[in-house]
Amino acid sequence: MTTSNYATERETTEGRVFTVTGGDWDDVVSGVDPINEGRIVVNMGPQHPSTHGVLRLVLELEGETVRDVRSVIGYLHTGIEKNLEYRNWVQGSTFVTRMDYLSPIFNETAYSLAVEKLLGITDDVTERANTIRVLMMELNRISSHLVWVATTGMELGAISIMLYGFRDREYILEIFELITGLRMNHAYVRPGGVAQDVPDEAIVKIREFLKLMPKRLKEYEDLLSGQPIWLERTKNVAVLDVTGCLALGVTGPVLRSAGLAWDLRKTMPYCGYEGYEFDVPTHADGDVWGRYLVRMAEMRESLKIVEQALDRLKPGPVMVADKKIAWPAQLAIGVDGMGNSLEHVAKIMGQSMESLIHHFKLVTEGFRVPPGQVYVGIESPRGELGVHAVSDGGTRPYRVHYREPSFVNLQALPAMAEGGLIADVIAGGASLDPVMGGCDR
């Protein structure tokens, strides 16, 4: 029987049982003499309001100076990657959308791109489907950054910005509900395209949002950018230069705030991003202030991309033509709001017995994916979101593993916080924008 510092195990009549403890907390505490050394060890989280969900930080303090930081994760572990092995390839979208719950469209798109690459149908995805994916991702990027500026402001004492950020995010969630039927956890982007087309009323609401949001961003900057307390809490705080970012694998706005314009939409385009005009904002100082400026600028760039996507929405199908792969799209909801409309069912059943049988098999069993493995990376609001998908030739994934930027970026927190003040742990941690649902998966 193996031993572990983190979880002891024992055999029982019910099988092997693991006892999960608080990491190396006992070892850390026993190694510190607070009376003679003047150091104390404290927990920040996993229920602390300033640790972005259920993140636990074990801090070793000397006065208010942080000498050591340890991140303890796993409190939101859902086993999504393992669950994917027991569902067919299309059902995977319903699972992965729940990981990073602030950017579900990105989870779905990365997964779908990986499945399409395994199937060899990347070039068969329609132009309209790719345009809708870009449109949805950029709206989702704005909504995610709005949550960041709202929660970071709240954690540093700026309560008003929290209210305004969530107010404007609500506008985007209403757009998502119009398009997908859900505010979050959409399962909208699926292998081969998207679940259904964008309705006309959603287009109208998006154009209204494009007129409204630049004014709101200006209001945010009027509230924060010249505010003395905000400047004190963010400038030259939690600095991580580009060398540190590269050494730790940090990507996204944190890397760009250190001066490196690395954005997968530009460097390794997907979904037709190479055809859009937009800039990659950067900053030179690598501090919390720089991360704030980069994210504010990124929202403006996303607005530009959304406007271009609307102009490119040409009529056409939103799912690949191959009926052996295409999950039924353009579903019509019944009058009771549940299930398909009778007209849609009649259309399916009235085509031919063969089409009905195929429809049944596609929905219940799913399509087969040729054996192989692929890696696909996209630019999520937090950095490089990568999917490593492995197929054994069956109707279910053999293995799917996500390269989650929240998980990778969190390891930069000790480099940012050690030697600084305990109050700056809050600012530095918030500037990483970790989402624990994605981190723990």
Q: Region 114-139: what's the mean pLDDT?
A: 92
pLDDT in tens, 167-214: 999 999 999 998 888 888 888 899 988 988 898 899 999 999 999 999
pLDDT band at residue 1, thresholds of 50, 70 and 90?
A: very low
Percent of the chain topping pLDDT 70: 85
Q: What is the pLDDT of residue 329?
A: 47
Q: What is the pLDDT of residue 440?
A: 83
Domains and CATH numbers, the chain: 7-72 (no CATH), 80-321+367-440 (1.10.645.10)
Backbone torsion region of residue 152, taken as left when φ is above 0, otherwise alpha when ψ lies between -120 and 50, otherwise beta: alpha
Q: What is the pLDDT of residue 433?
A: 86
**245 has pLDDT over 80:** yes
Query: Which residues lie closer than 8 Å to 253 by C-beta, 6 or more apart?
Result: 291, 294, 295, 298, 381, 382, 383, 433
pLDDT band at residue 24, thresholds of 50, 70 and 90?
A: low
pLDDT band at residue 116, thresholds of 50, 70 and 90?
A: very high
**29 has pLDDT over 80:** no
Across the chain, what does the average pLDDT equal? 85
Q: How far apart are CA 42 and CA 317, in angstroms?
A: 56
pLDDT in tens, 280-298: 999 998 899 999 999 999 9
Count CA within 13 A, CB hemisphere, residue 376: 24
- In the chain, the amino acid numbered 360 is F
Kindly state the tokens that stand for 28: 């850390």
Q: How far apart are CA 35 and CA 325, in angstroms?
A: 67
- Terminal-residue alpha carbon distance, the chain: 27
pLDDT in tens, 293-341: 999 999 999 999 999 999 999 888 888 887 777 765 445 555 555 555 6
**249 has pLDDT over 70:** yes
